[in-house]
């Protein structure tokens, strides 16, 4: 009897996979609780009290669909960024927007350029729409701008992905280099400039909005999941020219945004004083993570994000043993998935109690290796 599949050949050929295994799944698999959740680059500092108050005040309206045009949030973001609402697209987190971007541009077999070891969820979407990934190795733990540009031109690629600051290494480029890279791309190539960690980046590393807003082949993606502490709310946005942004309306889920998530994002954007406080706490946590690493003979890499990548002085096998060993103590962290980046572990900024447990557990794990 001939095997029958109700799915398309593309979907039938894809593995059932999740780009990131969540701490909840690890708890279920291992039968032990996560005590220090410092692996997913969430903000353990949480959202502002004003945000929680806004959510509570709006909870009685949960029976209503959200405004499908996301007018209030787009207007507030435009005012905050110094641009126009027509330059903003809102979506259910950057991950959802990345899927829409790939769908807008890529047909089966088309080349898509990204960095080898870069953000796995972007690759997940490319594979899901049948794109062909063309990867460029990191150089000195930074994404290689010259290599990415050369690959785009060699492959005549319609899409390239670049994150600044970078996940998983925490490295970054200066704004002038990024602007030059964007303007050197062929006009037929759409750049996804992922700026999920722009709030935690040092001055001079994020191009001003006006420097790229005239380019129809650039989409900058940002999120409320990191510094604003709203990962569970799923609020992301893209910045581009009105014509490029308008294309999202052809395929997006117009009622995909949750009403309370929108209210939370509006309140978070309005409370910049709390954001400044959190940025200070993130910086202090990065310093402490780096100090813990050095005290244990490991090498923390410079970071512009809310996490620190730590060179463990070996290969992926050693780093995986550290990740798994820490989980035995209830400490959830992650690591890059591709060599040579996978010689590192990655630890998110967290509360003092979380870092206390990490500090106490790390030498015990290293002693067993």
pLDDT digits (tens, 9 = 90+) for 128-163: 999 999 999 999 999 999 999 999 999 999 999 999
End-to-end alpha-carbon separation of the chain, Å? 52
- Judge if 201 and 138 occupy the same domain: yes
| Inter-residue contact 193 to 221 (CB < 8 Å) | yes
For the CA atoms of 166, 169, 170, 174, what is the dihedral angle to 10 degrees?
-60
What is the CATH number for 358? Answer: 3.90.1150.10
| Inter-residue contact 195 to 221 (CB < 8 Å) | yes
Q: Supply the pLDDT for residue 116.
A: 98
Q: Is the pLDDT of residue 185 over 60?
A: yes
142 secondary structure, DSSP code: B
Beta strands in 145-217 (DSSP E): 159-163, 190-194
Residue 317 lies in a domain: yes
Pick the closest to residue 241 from 264, 214, 265 (CA basis).
214
What is the maximum span of the chain, computed from C-alpha positions, in angstroms?
67
pLDDT digits (tens, 9 = 90+) for 4-34: 778 999 999 998 888 888 999 999 999 999 9
Buried b (16+ CB within 10 A) or exposed e, 198-214: bbbbeeebbbeeebbbe
Residue 98 lies in a domain: yes
- Judge if 224 and 200 occupy the same domain: yes
- Judge if 38 and 181 occupy the same domain: no
Residue 121 pLDDT class (50, 70, 90 cuts): very high
| Inter-residue contact 132 to 112 (CB < 8 Å) | yes
Q: What is the pTM of this model?
A: 0.96
CA distance 359 to 357: 5
Q: Supply the pLDDT for residue 18.
A: 83
Domain boundary among 214, 244, 270: 270
- Judge if 118 and 231 occupy the same domain: yes
- Judge if 204 and 248 occupy the same domain: yes
- Judge if 92 and 230 occupy the same domain: yes
Q: Is the pLDDT of residue 369 over 80?
A: yes
| Inter-residue contact 292 to 327 (CB < 8 Å) | no
Overall number of domains in the chain: 2
What is the CATH number for 264? Answer: 3.40.640.10
Q: Is the pLDDT of residue 3 over 70?
A: no
Residue 2 pLDDT class (50, 70, 90 cuts): low
- Judge if 32 and 147 occupy the same domain: no
User: In this structure, what are the phi and psi dihedrals at residue 187, rounded to the nearest 5 degrees?
Assistant: -65, -15
Q: What is the mean pLDDT of the chain?
A: 97
Q: What number is the average pLDDT over the span 190-219?
A: 98
- Judge if 345 and 255 occupy the same domain: no
Pick the closest to residue 354 from 323, 328, 332 (CA basis).
332
pLDDT digits (tens, 9 = 90+) for 41-71: 999 999 999 999 999 999 999 999 999 999 9
pLDDT digits (tens, 9 = 90+) for 64-112: 999 999 999 999 999 999 999 999 999 999 999 999 999 999 999 999 9
Q: Are strands 132-136 and 111-115 parallel, antiparallel or unpaired?
A: parallel
The H helix count followed by the E strand count for the chain is 14, 12
Residue 56 lies in a domain: no
> Which residue stretches of 17-158 are H helix?
23-30, 49-58, 71-81, 93-105, 120-128, 145-155
The two tokens of residue 196 are 């999920």
- Judge if 71 and 95 occupy the same domain: yes
Q: What number is the average pLDDT over the span 333-357?
A: 98
Q: Supply the pLDDT for residue 1.
A: 47
CA distance 124 to 20: 10
Pick the closest to residue 334 from 62, 20, 33, 29 (CA basis).
20
The two tokens of residue 144 are 């290689």
Domain that residue 248 falls in = 65-270
Residue 241 lies in a domain: yes
pLDDT digits (tens, 9 = 90+) for 209-225: 999 999 999 999 999 99
pLDDT digits (tens, 9 = 90+) for 270-309: 999 999 999 999 999 999 999 999 999 999 999 999 999 9
Q: Hey, is 312 helix, strand or coil?
A: coil
Q: Supply the pLDDT for residue 286.
A: 98
pLDDT digits (tens, 9 = 90+) for 358-368: 999 999 999 99
What DSSP assignment string belongs to 47-70?
S-HHHHHHHHHHGGGTTSPPPTT-
pLDDT digits (tens, 9 = 90+) for 238-278: 999 999 999 999 999 999 999 999 999 999 999 999 999 99
Residue 23 lies in a domain: yes
Residue 60 lies in a domain: no
- Judge if 119 and 223 occupy the same domain: yes
């Amino acid at each position: 009897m001939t095997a029958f599949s109700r799915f398309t050949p593309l979907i039938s050929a894809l593995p059932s996979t999740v780009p990131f295994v969540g701490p909840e799944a690890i708890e279920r698999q291992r039968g032990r609780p996560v005590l220090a959740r410092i692996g997913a680059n969430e903000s353990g500092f949480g959202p502002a009290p004003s945000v929680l108050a806004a959510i509570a005040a709006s909870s009685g309206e949960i029976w209503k669909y959200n405004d499908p045009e996301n007018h209030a949030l787009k207007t507030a973001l435009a005012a905050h960024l110094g641009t126009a609402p027509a330059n903003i697209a809102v979506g259910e987190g950057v991950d959802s927007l990345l899927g829409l971007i790939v769908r807008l541009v890529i047909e089966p077999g088309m080349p898509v350029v990204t960095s080898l070891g870069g953000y796995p969820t972007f690759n997940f979407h490319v594979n899901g729409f049948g794109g062909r990934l063309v990867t460029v190795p990191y150089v000195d733990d930074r994404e290689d701008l010259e290599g990415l540009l050369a690959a785009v031109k060699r492959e005549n690629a319609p899409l390239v992905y670049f994150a600044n600051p970078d996940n998983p290494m925490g490295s970054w480029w200066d704004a002038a280099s990024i602007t030059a890279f964007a303007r050197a791309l062929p006009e037929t190539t759409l750049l996804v400039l992922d700026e999920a960690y722009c709030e935690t980046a040092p001055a001079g590393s994020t191009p001003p909005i006006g420097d790229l807003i005239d380019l129809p082949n650039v989409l900058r993606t940002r999120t409320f999941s990191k510094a604003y502490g709203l990962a569970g709310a799923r609020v992301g946005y893209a910045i581009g020219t009105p014509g490029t942004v308008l294309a999202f309306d052809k395929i997006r889920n117009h009622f995909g945004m949750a009403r309370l998530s929108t209210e939370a994002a509006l309140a978070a954007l309005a409370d910049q004083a709390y954001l400044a406080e959190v940025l200070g706490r993130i910086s202090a946590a990065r310093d402490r993570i780096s100090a813990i690493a050095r005290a244990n003979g490991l090498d923390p890499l410079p970071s512009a994000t809310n996490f620190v990548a730590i060179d463990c002085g070996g290969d992926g096998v050693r780093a995986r043993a550290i990740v798994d060993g820490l989980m035995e103590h209830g400490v959830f962290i992650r690591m890059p998935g591709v060599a040579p980046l996978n010689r590192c572990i990655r630890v998110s900024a967290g509360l003092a109690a979380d870092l206390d447990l990490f500090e106490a557990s790390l030498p015990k794990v290293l002693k067993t290796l």
